[in-house]
Amino acid sequence: MTGKVPAGHSSFRRGDYIKITVFGFAFTALWQSLHTIILPLRLLDFVPESQKNTYLGLLTFAGLVLAILVQPLAGSLSDRFTSVWGRRRPFILLGAVLSLVLLFGIGLPVSFPAIVLVYCLLQISGNIAQGPYQALIPDLVPAGKRGRASGVKSLLEVLGGVALIYPIALMMDRYFLAGQDRWLWYSLGALAAVLFLCALATIYLVRELPVHGSGRPLWKSLKRTFQIDVRKQRDFVWFLVSRLLILIGFTTIQQFALNFLRDVIGVASPAEATARFTIIAVAGMLIAVWPAGHISDSTGRKPIIVAAGITGAAGISIVLFFQSYGATLWAAGILGIALGAFNSTNWALATDLLPRNEEARYLGLTNIATAGGAALARLIGPLIDFLNDFGGDTGYQVMLLACIAYFLAGALLVFKIRKPA
């Protein structure tokens, strides 16, 4: 890519969609690989086998609570920040540099508390960058093209989620089965390289609109970070609740897929099997993610979001009633289609509902649903282990039923959203 994103909406071109969303490729690759492959296997070095879901759930829950707090704060600060680099890119640079340093800390800890500390710091640094980065779409994209921009953002996130998942799964299987530490370091190094290149591209290629700060004192900006006028922003509140529920459903099956495939389906190489599950899901996402965002610019966001929730429930039902590896892979494709349509369309709806001059703060508040859904999904880990102790796979069956309920409830709540602000 050459040239920079133009400073005005009128000159926004096709290539600019990539330039303002490529950073999402790196962060999805990072969190997808960490949460799905690296952390579940890394924790087995420190925790009892029978409590692996509990420790994994509590670890990632703690980090995601920090994400809920940090991302809106970083977004609120960037809304009033001014510099020769703009409002967003200084935060992207800071967060990316800190994340690169902390990422390698995942390979260093020799105890569970140590890995908790490193993971939580990584969540803080990542969300310092991610909150302001997300505001590039409302900052730079004309309103009539935000569905397409959200589609491109989701497409790159999909590609980021799958680009490294299979090679990292193969390396981590070697780490897990052979106990060779170098495979863990190779995995972390690959993620670091992608993060570095995408951060560099964003900082160099994006030129922000010349917007002045709000003039509000820093402490007042921070004080009102988490404030929402519920009466004026009622649609935004319903949006948050709907998004929260649907993302709990998606994240639950994603987070515990490796352990489900290992304990219930009985696969021999759980990391590789999980990677295949993820790749098929990504193929489904690729089918839906761009058309859904593009179509929603003309047909509206809500019908597609409702259809995505119902489709997600159908995919989980296949896993519940046909518990085989083949059926699980079919379900992965269906879930991918649902997630692709949901991600691009739901994010476009978020940009429709943003108050002017508070874009990054409100997109940071959207992380209450995004990271909050991911965090709450982890809390079912102790319940899975508790119910499995009574015999069979009861805990996993309850997990699947809960996912179906999340999808359907989230889809129904979309009807409470009346119109964009």
Using one digit for the tens of pLDDT, what is the confidence trace for 124-133?
999 999 888 8
Mean pLDDT of the chain, nearest integer: 81
pLDDT class for 178, splitting at 50, 70, 90? Answer: low
Burial call 209-240: b when 16+ CB within 10 Å, e when fewer? eeeeeeeeeeeebeeebeebeeeebebbbbbb
pLDDT class for 190, splitting at 50, 70, 90? Answer: very high
Mean pLDDT of 298-303: 77
Using one digit for the tens of pLDDT, what is the confidence trace for 143-176?
777 777 777 887 888 788 778 877 888 888 888 7
Measured CA to CA, the distance from residue 62 to residue 9 in angstroms comes to 39
- Residue 232 DSSP label: T
Those residues with Cβ within 8 angstroms of residue 420's Cβ, 6 or more apart along the chain or in another chain: 235, 349, 352, 353
Helix ranges restricted to H, 226-324 = 234-255, 257-260, 270-299, 302-321
Say if residue 78's pLDDT is above 50.
yes
For 11-208+230-416, the fitting CATH number among 3.30.530.80, 1.20.1250.20, 3.30.230.10, 3.90.79.10 is 1.20.1250.20
The winner for highest mean pLDDT among 11-15, 172-176, 302-306 is 302-306
The domain spans of the chain are 11-208+230-416
Using one digit for the tens of pLDDT, what is the confidence trace for 366-421?
777 777 777 788 778 888 888 888 877 888 888 999 999 999 999 999 888 876 54
Query: Nearest CA to 370 among 398, 345, 346?
Result: 346
Q: Which residue has the tokens 């994994």?
A: 56
Task: Supply the pLDDT for residue 211.
Answer: 57
